[in-house]
Structure 1
Amino acid sequence: MKNIKSYIVQIIGAVMTLALFTACENDDHVPEFTLTGPSDEVAFQNTFLDEYLLSTETADNIAERFVWNEVNFGVQTEVSYQLVGSISENFDAESDYDSGALLITNDAVDVSFLLKMADELGLDDDPSTDDIPNTGTLYFKVTAFAGSGEGTDAQSTTSEVVELPITLVEKSVESGDTVRDITSWGVVGSGYNDWGAFEDAPFYTTDTDGVYVAYVNLLDGEIKFRENNDWTNNYGDTDADGTLDAGGDNIVVTAGDYKITMNLNDNTYTMEEYSWGVVGSGYNDWGGAGPDAKFFYDYTTDTFKVGVKLLDGEIKFRLNNDWGTNYGDTGADGTLDDGGDNIVSVAGYYMITLDFNAGTYTMEETELLGVVGSGYNDWGNAGDDYILTEVNPGVWVGENVELIDGEIKFRVNEAWDSDYGDSGADGTLDPGGDNIAVTAGTYLIKLDLSEGGSSAYSLNAR
């Protein structure tokens, strides 16, 4: 019996020794994992704008929230993401924006960062520097990587590079230390652009930070206010009480010309009928032969302008096609006088400018572009051309232009000495180019013949 017990003890000891040896040997063995390639390529999921308007007034706003898909590298290890932006398409210049390692699949980039990159591109917002551009392109990409993303077994995937066309909003008009800029906010809706069929009507800065104003022609319908032509940030009015509600109800509107003031300091807004026009025997038989010639707001000079064909006669300027508020010129000295004397007009083509800051007006005989064609006035045989207004340098607009099926062109002072068409049907104006085919409808027309501009035009149906 004693020998049997001794034998069992020896066996147990041997087993324990073997187990201990095996455990110690396993402690030195680290499992190795080999990363395979990612199951998905990383790619941006958000929709980018055709143009990003940048200004110091909106520096704290989000310019774009980059969103991308989640990537799986086939092992249970941490996946990180890095968003970088550069002024160089090849990213051979030092990246101006670097998010660092992110564990989430999105990153918001503020306007301030894009302004910094614009400065690196050599852009400026001074309209007097014709040799320095205010437009350019920035480049962004995102990379997904497993773990630290370093070492011989590192695996990563990088998205395609996206281009962000940027425009620095030019500043020119000073009011104290303030300038008039286009803001990132706009008016959208069935009452303006069919909920985004074309760009939103812009709000402009005022003397008060956070208080913006828009001058807009509306249709019967509904509107909201949104930022960057996108729905990420938008305001409505849920109780129809003049309070801005984030994501609130649509605002019901009736057709007409309005001045909309949006106050982001106390989240309120106001809408008032607002339209200055030319009236008189020198234009529309004192209102008996049609509506007044409407002035458009020029933010680059903080004035109101209209391109108009005048007759021999007299004119005045009045608000909302009504005599409640009107201006003439009692001393014929270029001063706007409330209820003043009629202003003598001589037949010709004029750019009229109202400067309410200075209390003055100017009438400059000039060359004006107009719409002509079988799609409007039978090539001039069925009435005058539709005269456009140069609202900013080189930028011309026409509002609620009634076209019929046919063709049109743009010509200067209703003569064929200078005209524009579109030979390639590519949305670019060509001097003396081919006729532009149009279909019946009411249009907002815009031409860009500014220096350094794209010579683009748009016919937006309303």
Structure 2
Amino acid sequence: MKNILYIALTLCVGLGLMSSCAEEDSKYTVDLSGENSTAPTVSNPASGTADLSEDAAAEVFEVFEWVAADYGAPVAVTYVLKMDVNQDFSTATDLVTTEELLASPTVKQVNDGAIALGAATGEQLDLYFMVVSQINGVEESVLSGTEMVRTVTPYEVVIDYPTIYVPGAYQGWSPGAENGRLYSYDFNKQYAGVIRVIDAANPTGDVSFKVTPEPAWDLAWGGVLTAAGTGYTGDLDPSGGDFSVAPGVYAFSVDTDAMTIEMTKTDDWGLIGSATPGGWDNDTDLLYNGQLRVWEITVDLIEGEFKIRANDEWVSDYGDDNGDGTLEAGGANIAVSEAGNYTLQFDLTGLTYTMTKN
């Protein structure tokens, strides 16, 4: 069965000496089956191993050039260079969007995109590339070109994810502060992160905040949140007042295309033990680093032991049975053999941790 689109275009038809014009609707039939349409074709396909080097991060990874897609009608077309670690492009990220017939992603773009897709640093893997076309404003008009594959080894780097900000009473109303950032891990308009929304001056009172797209007050979104389950939902309103929520640690999900915000209460992690400032009686709160996706703290420790636990209670806790940097649920206390200032980072997805003496 043919995949047919019917497109109406409004053309400006000149009258006289171009002194005026009249609008005229022209309808076109676009066949996406391939019989009368052609997907963009890369004119310089390459394969084999490509170099990813941090020293060359700003350099062009590769220049992809293609022959224009042909829809059989005079339509405006946008092209997207997609990349994925999966050959079926089921998790593809958009590297470059353009109306031109070439794209020149940098080494950094490719490396960051590969890591965001789950590629392990220091390990060789195949990356798949494809150019797709779409008639501007017509989602059903996508034509996909043939795939290309390059073998690379990503290097370790802190990824510069797109960021939005959540200034509020819990962190001094400071847009751009380290505490209060959400990240777009897929490099789109959906942002996520975990924030402790608790005002130290009033730890049991409701907390006000806003959302800003930049680390400044030029534009700020607020509004009214509706309680939903263990959290809240609402819309981002540029003329709205402060958001207000009960104190707690929340997993945020913000969509700046749909202009929506969702918050769900989540675990609040901290250190406890004889090596920590609070001993075995009081937890020392960790902060969530959304860019690295770890819970972390820089803190003075004394010789002794510690564990990490959730929500100031012994329901969910982690230790290290073998002293190898791997976290085990309910595991052995982690030893601190020398007093000093330490930076601790805990990856509760990969169940690993690091402890670095500063």
So what's the TM-score if we normalise by structure 1?
A: 0.37
Counting helix residues as a fraction of each chain, which structure ranks higher?
1
The higher radius of gyration belongs to: 1
The one of the two structures with greater contact order (alpha-carbon pairs below 8 A, sep at least 6) is 2
